[in-house]
Amino acid sequence: MIVRASKTIMVAAIAFFATLVAFGNITDYGTNFAFVNHVLDMDTLFPDTTIRYRAVTSPFLHQAAYALIIGAEAATALLCWIGAFRMGSAIRRDAAAFRSSKAFAIAGLTLGFLVWQVGFMSIGGEWFGMWMSQQWNGAPSAFRFVVTILAVLIYVVLPDED
């Protein structure tokens, strides 16, 4: 039972993290929007880079991208909270019941992985060259989030015994 409790608590920890991230992005909208704005504008990259043609300079698209990010972070939090609750409710049940209780947690962890791996590391980091920015490089933070979420996801999907 301790392993099941551990898995449940770890999913809740990711839910808490994603909640704080989404909350921060909503309550400190301007500061965090500036990050998205600079990454999409590609205005702080190396001076000689030849990838600036990829820049998205539309204020509407900046707002839409930021709303999508916040929505995905909030959805990650919600799915993980539901998953943690369901897992917690099934801790004392048989292995099949506990396994089926993981569905929302797995969905939330997968979405979180996609937000920070695809959204920040692949699109922001590589497509928009965020790694070249001294001030607006979120790749190291995104990598920490990806590794943590991936570790929890791997742990959660490990088989459980009765």
Query: What local confidence, expressed as pLDDT, does residue 63 receive?
Result: 98
Tens digits of residue pLDDT in 128-143: 999 999 999 999 999 9
Residue 101 counted as domain residue: yes
pTM given for the model: 0.94
Q: From residue 151, how far is each of 11, 100, 103, 108, 122 by CA, in Å?
A: 11, 20, 17, 14, 19
Residues 6+ apart with CB under 8 A from 3: 160
Tens digits of residue pLDDT in 8-63: 999 999 999 999 999 999 999 999 999 999 999 999 999 999 999 999 999 999 99
Query: Which among 89, 29, 92 has a CA at the least distance from the CA of 62?
Result: 29
Contact between residue 114 and residue 62 where contact means Cβ atoms under 8 Å apart: no
Residue 43 counted as domain residue: yes
Residue 89 counted as domain residue: yes
Residue 121 counted as domain residue: yes
Contact between residue 30 and residue 117 where contact means Cβ atoms under 8 Å apart: no
Residue 73 counted as domain residue: yes
Residue 162 counted as domain residue: no
The total number of structural domains in the chain stands at 1
Tens digits of residue pLDDT in 60-86: 999 999 999 999 999 999 999 999 999
**Domain of residue 20, residue span:** 2-157
Query: What local confidence, expressed as pLDDT, does residue 77 receive?
Result: 98
Residue 56 counted as domain residue: yes
Residue 50 counted as domain residue: yes
Query: What local confidence, expressed as pLDDT, does residue 80 receive?
Result: 98
Query: What local confidence, expressed as pLDDT, does residue 161 receive?
Result: 85
123, containing H or E segment: none
Query: What local confidence, expressed as pLDDT, does residue 162 receive?
Result: 80
Pick 161 or 46 by higher pLDDT: 46
